[in-house]
Amino acid sequence: MLKASCVFLLQTLTTTKKHKQSLLKAHVVSFCPPPHPPPMACRIHTVWDPMGWLCLSSIVFVWSYNTWLLPKLIMMPHVAQGTLPAAVAAGYYVVAALCMAALVRASTADPGRVRQERDMSSEEFSVQSHVCQKCSIVKPARAHHCSRCGHCVRRMDHHCPWINNCVGEGNQWLFIQLCFYTQLLSTYALVVNFAHFYLLPPLASAQPDEFVFHYSVAMLRGAAVMGVMIFLGMAALFYGQVINILTDLTTIEKMKDPFLEVSAQVQRPWQESLAAVFGTRWKLLWLIPCRRGGVQGISARRYSYQAAV
């Protein structure tokens, strides 16, 4: 009786193991990529997270505040007075527009969600691919499950509440653009503020009875404080993202192992590393957010899918 029970248990375990292997193979077969994926501009990715929407709304408010305040109090009056070139005001609006475009694209672009209907290449599957315990789908190496978004993201770097989206393979280039243009816009605002108080002649056309001019000093000081804080924060994010790209590591991998060393097999020239992220070797296009880009623009997926060791 005991022998029969052991045989039955062994057969059950063997059958279960074979069943899991067949399911895994079925997952791999079902991941068949379309030959020509639709343009990124047609995909709107949103995350329904109240905290994320609050953070994103605060960023939009700060951008709107500074985009309206500086031209109203400083630029346009000085341009009308002839003490400031009109090109300075036009340049400020151009940088502000690029900053907002990068914010919209980074917050609505697909960060690289692993989908049931999409495939992993043989290279991705062969290197430590496994089934996500939360999604129950096969995910490639270096993909991680985001508890905020509720799905797995390919080569996920981190989840950023300020854009209410993950930063991953599909939108990392947009996040870098956002950090860059935010630094540029903050620097622009600080320089204009400094020039208004210490370099440019006083405004003769200012109307003290208007609210914005009556409280102009306090409002401009508040804008300067916000500019300094935002610049420092974005500079740290920008520097960290560039270092991650050049070393072929992610923030999650660094958090898991702070002493993680870069493998000599994945080190590449900085131009090639950045081109793999931005989707093109044309450096001028790295500055344009309103285009199709990212890893999808590079042939044969140039990211290193080797598991970091």
- The radius of gyration of the chain's CA atoms, rounded to the nearest angstrom, is 25
Helices (H), 199-265: 211-214, 216-247, 251-256
Calculate the dihedral angle through the C-alpha atoms of 69, 74, 80, 81, rounding to the nearest 10 degrees: 160
Q: Rounded to an integer, what distance in angstroms lies between the CA atom of residue 226 and that of residue 63?
A: 10
Q: How many CB atoms lie within 10 A of CB 161?
A: 16
Catalytically active residues are 160
Residues in contact with 176: Cβ distance below 8 Å, sequence separation at least 6, in sequence order: 238, 241, 242, 277
CB-CB contact of 260 with 254 (8 Å): yes
Q: What angle do CA 140, 41, 38 make, to 5 degrees?
A: 60
91, 213 Cβ separation under 8 angstroms: no
The H or E element containing residue 130 is strand 130-131
Cα 55 to chain center, whole Å?
15
DSSP characters over 68-105:
HHHIIIIIHHHHHHTSS-HHHHHHHHHHHHHHHHHHHH
φ, ψ for residue 148 (rounded to 5)? -70, -45
Residues whose CB is less than 8 angstroms from the CB of residue 91 and which lie 6 or more positions away in sequence, other chains included: 188
Distance of alpha carbon 193 from alpha carbon 190, whole angstroms: 5
